[in-house]
A and B are shown apart, each in its own frame.
Chain A
Amino acid sequence: MKLFFYCMVNFVFLLLACSLQAQPLPPSYKLFPLPVSELEAITVSWLRTSGFQVSELSFNMGQRQFSAQIEGTIWKILLKPHSPLATELWLESDADQAANGNQLAELGSYLNDYIDSLASESDTMNEFVPSVVNALAQTVVCIKATINDEEIQISGFFTDKQGLIISTAHDLTEFHTIKVLLWDGQEHDAIIVKKNPEKDLTLLHINYTPDAYISLLNGRSILAAGERLFSISCRNNQPGIIKAGALIRPPVTVDKQLLWKISMETLHGSSGSPVIDQKGNLFGVVKGKYRGRDAIGFLIPFETILEFLNTI
């Protein structure tokens, strides 16, 4: 898609640049995948930094019109919404000089670069997160434990309507107080119901009835090849941080416990985060980073969670 836009934009601006050398420009337009306000902001910014005097904008039925002047040459620009997310840029110029053509080509290349940078950002950073996963963001809590006046923070998640929370155990070996911070800012005192340091799991309880929780009924033990997974964690006392990733096969055994390896950004404080598939089914719990690498994490498998809950 990036290539499609790149070629189209270059072609139109090349035509504009060539036609400028011979005669005044006929009105021409190009479609950009940007809302009208964004295209307006970046076009005006380019014009101003290129030395154009930009006139007052006029608005009509969502369309923006303005003129830009440089050394006696006037560009008339119309931004016409094509949809709420796309805009047509119409351009008319009274110039017949080659230099003006160069400037038009420069504007085209500037807009190309901008769109290119957005496309690459959305490829890497803003992976599509299914709405089911988004809706489960509020099931995740921040667990704050105070040990010798020092506070540590890990993550956990509600597993039923009674206020039971599953988390990891390795940071909760010694503690004075444990508090649970919810997505809406509420803070509750927590008690440990059950702890298993070998399995590295803890079950906590708070007096609270959550609206949503991650059910253990639909947990998953195996995944299809390439299936996407999502972790929802707490970072810096802010629950609801979603990261996407995928499983790295095969699983590894650490201290007699089977663990999954996952290629997913594993943040400080994310131990205890639920890892779910795109339908919101639990697959595991984040145990920690793999050899200190932020991009690879270890997961406690769903079976281990069930074993932990089933043993007294």
Chain B
Amino acid sequence: MKQQNIHFRTVFLVSVFLMCWVSLSHGQPTTGQPAPSFTLQDTAGTSFDLSQIADNNLIILYFFDADSRPSQEGLLNLDQLRKQYKDADLTVWGITLSPPEKTEKFLNLIKPDFPVLLDSGKVSAAYQASLVLPSVCIIGPGLKVLDYFQGGGKTTEIMLMRVAERQLQRRQTISAKAISEQVEKIDPGNVKARTVKGYANLQEGNAEKAEKIFQDLAQETGEAEVVGKEGLAALYAKSGKMDKAFELAQEVEKKSPERGYPHVIMGNILYSQNKKKEAGAEFEQAINKKESEPFQKAIAYNQYGRLSAIQGNYEKSREFYAQAVSLDPYFVEATSNTGLAYEKEGNWEKALESYQRALDLNSNDTFAAILARKAEDMLSLQKDVEKKKRIDSLVKELAGRYKSQEKTRVKGEDTWTSRPMVITFVDIQEKGGLAERGGFSNVLASELSSELNASGRVQVVERVVLEKLLEELNLGSSELADPETALRLGKVLAAKLIGTGSLYYLPDSTLLNLRLVDTETSAIPKVITRQLNTQLALQKELHALNRDILKTIIMKYPLQGFVVQVNSGEALINLGTDQGVVLGTRFDVIEEVKPIVYKGKKLQGEPQAVGQIEIVRVEPSLSYGRIVQQTRQLKTDDRIREKIEPKTTL
């Protein structure tokens, strides 16, 4: 009887505990849900509204009790971080139910670098942070809950490590390393802290430091050995040591079959070896495995999405990108990849939304900025009925000419005077590894086109015309890889030069091989080979490409024309903005030299400059120039040729 009674009491107590736990955990902020809004005041009476910091991408709400030691320790850790790393873009708000006088006394002691708000109970209740303190809610982009933790001590370490991981996702490597080091001070040898530090160094390009950290971990046993070897595999893959990376990834897979990240590494390597099917199988395994850090799993989803998009399955790719972003809301690459998938489906509005979201995450993202601009142009074109009609009819005409192999006719018999320099970029193919983000060739062609057009010297065939023409002619990458097809297309578009080539993805950068091909002679006036970095200094690289192309055009295809009139120190020439004349351009006035007859053979020398003109006013078909120098009186019908000025050229 007594035993039965004890049994009954135990069941009753467990039930009460479970009911309490359920009621407590019910309503707890959950990942992905909007954070409950609130307005609170600090001890000085200043109001703080959560919605006012909606643009901040990482917010930590720290609910604490001013009297409790675990609460105080956690708060001190966060404060130390805030004070040490002011640039880390980390917003912390403390919230307490403690009486104002106690709170003030505590604050006077530590003088935190962030506001501490007084709560009467409602906000703490909304965040389920009334009973267990400290409670921490980490809020991400769009004021959505990312993580929630309750308790001090060990939980504070876990919370700090999660903040470090989030900082790693945001590419805030300095603070990610600092937080990890702080955790290592509390718990020397903490595996997660050392792992985050290793990946932060890898992200920063400090391969030696990353290798040392991962090697130290790999020499231990258990979890440390696994994550250490995994980190080494990632590092070797990034440095191009594919065999070593693959071997290590296989070793980790055998040791810890539920780890997902080794499959991402193997998938990437297989893809770079053109084994797409095998790569897909690895990515699939990666997303189905149970053991992965969120940032690693997000990468797995993104890579699988990229592969699906390359195979033309845009809807599936968007689903994968969505999973990637839900695991890592700071994943700019996956966010902009979503836009590209929408773009391929013709949904420019949704594409623009995605690019803008990517820009919200990183306003300096050149890729997303260029793609957003292109999407805006496409949307405005859709609304501009007249322009759309004009383009459609132009595309029809061009497609007809392509099919009948008819060249775009050039009027007139004047073979000396330059025609406009028209360029088109045709199919810059993406080869090599599977880049984290797609659309590089689009970004390159769009940006180069807009910079070249801005120079006034060159006209680039409107991207929309080219894309519609390719669609109309049903020409895909494989057809365009044939140089004959590309040249034929260039001729139909009346382009003097076509820009074609490839982007080759290497583990640490991208190799651009861009060829300019003359559509009339098939000669290649310029081959540009450059190692591009997709993240850093991309804009600078694009500027350099623009300069390279312009310089080649001016040197190889200088503008040529005639003097039309000469009036008191000023010359009128038959070239204008239509042909690519810009203010300040200098022209040599040239004259053929008499041939010398030597032993019955006529020797013709190069033409000589007899004057120089600097353009001071330009109109569409003519320009006015100041005569800078002349060795004889300039006259109507004198020939002129554009001159590159070495003094004003890099």
Residues of A bordering B, CB below 8 Å:
1, 4, 31, 33-38, 41, 61-63, 80-86, 88, 115, 118-119, 121-122, 126, 129, 131, 134-135, 137-138, 151, 184-185, 211, 235-238, 240-242
Contacts and interface: CB of A to CB of B under 8 A. Distances in A.
B648 A185 contact: no
21 contacts: A1-B646, A34-B547, A34-B650, A35-B454, A37-B451, A38-B546, A62-B454, A62-B456, A81-B584, A83-B586, A84-B456, A84-B550, A84-B585, A88-B584, A121-B544, A131-B556, A134-B525, A151-B273, A185-B502, A238-B432, A238-B502
B547 A35 contact: yes
A160 B263 CA distance: 46
A38 B547 contact: yes
A62 B645 contact: no
Interface of A is mostly: mixed
Given A137-B527, A184-B482, A242-B527, 5 more contacts: A37-B454, A83-B644, A85-B547, A236-B506, A240-B513
Contacts of A242: 527, 529
Interface in B563-588: 577, 580, 582-586
Contact of A83 (B511, B513, B526, B645): B645
A38 B648 contact: no
B577 to A, nearest CB: 7
Contacts of A184: 481-483
Nearest to B523: A135
Among all A-B residue pairs, the 7 with the closest Cβ atoms: A86-B648, A84-B457, A82-B584, A37-B454, A62-B456, A38-B543, A84-B455
Given A61-B577, A84-B554, A240 B429 contact: no
Contacts, number: 134
Given A62-B582, A235-B511, A236-B511, A36 B454 contact: yes
Contacts of A131: 525-526, 556
Contact of A86 (B523, B543, B544, B649): B649
B583 A86 contact: no
A238 B584 contact: no
B601 interface: no
Interface string B196-229: 0000000000000000000000000000000000
B149 interface: no
B618 A61 contact: yes
A35 B648 contact: no
B583 A82 contact: yes
Given A137-B524, A184-B482, A240-B513, A61 B650 contact: no
Interface in B417-466: 429, 431-432, 450-451, 454-458
Contact of B582 (A37, A81, A238, A241): A81
B316 interface: no
A185 B450 CA distance: 28
B647 interface: yes
A56 to B, nearest CB: 15
Nearest to B550: A84
A62 B451 CA distance: 12
B454 A1 contact: no
Nearest to B546: A35
A311 to B, nearest CB: 35
B506 A33 contact: no
A83 B547 contact: no
B643 to A, nearest CB: 9
Contacts of B580: 84
B246 to A, nearest CB: 12
Interface residues of B, number: 52
B504 interface: yes
Contacts of A38: 451, 543, 546-547
Nearest to A84: B457
Nearest to A121: B544
B551 interface: yes
Contacts of B650: 33-34, 85, 115, 118-119, 122
Contacts of B582: 62, 81, 83-84
Contacts of A118: 544, 650
Contacts of B454: 35-37, 62
B543 A134 contact: no
Contacts of A122: 650
Nearest to A185: B481
Nearest to B586: A83
Contacts of B584: 80-83, 86, 88
Nearest to A32: B648
B548 interface: yes
A299 to B, nearest CB: 21
B56 interface: no
Contacts of A138: 524
Nearest to A151: B273
B529 A31 contact: no
B455 A82 contact: no
A61 B583 contact: yes
B539 interface: yes
A37 B546 contact: yes
Interface in B512-563: 513, 515, 522-527, 529, 539, 543-544, 546-548, 550-551, 554, 556
B575 to A, nearest CB: 13
Contacts of A4: 647
B563 to A, nearest CB: 19
B648 A135 contact: no
Contact of B455 (A36, A61, A88): A36
A168 B645 CA distance: 44
A79 B381 CA distance: 29
B554 A241 contact: no
A86 B554 CA distance: 13
B397 to A, nearest CB: 29
A82 B648 contact: yes
Contacts of B544: 118, 121, 126
B567 to A, nearest CB: 22
A35 B452 CA distance: 9
B503 to A, nearest CB: 10
A134 B647 CA distance: 25
Interface centre among A85, A211, A237, by most chain B C-beta atoms within 10 angstroms, is A85
B648 A85 contact: yes
A238 B551 contact: no
A142 to B, nearest CB: 11
A40 to B, nearest CB: 8
B7 to A, nearest CB: 66
A88 B648 CA distance: 10
Contacts of B450: 37
A138 B500 CA distance: 13
Given A86-B648, A137-B524, A80 B583 contact: yes
Nearest to B645: A83
Contacts of B546: 35, 37-38
Contact of A240 (B529, B556, B644): B529
Contacts of A83: 582, 584-586, 644-645, 648
Contacts of A238: 431-432, 502, 504, 511, 513
Contacts of A41: 539, 543
A81 B580 CA distance: 12
A171 B646 CA distance: 46
A85 B649 CA distance: 6
A236 B551 CA distance: 29
Given A41-B539, A85-B550, A137-B527, A62 B431 contact: no
Nearest to B477: A185
B104 to A, nearest CB: 35
B212 to A, nearest CB: 23
Contacts of B527: 129, 134, 137, 240, 242
Contacts of B502: 185, 238
Contacts of A84: 455-458, 550, 554, 580, 582, 585
A33 B648 contact: yes
Given A135-B523, A185-B481, A81 B583 contact: yes
A93 B454 CA distance: 26
Contacts of B551: 85
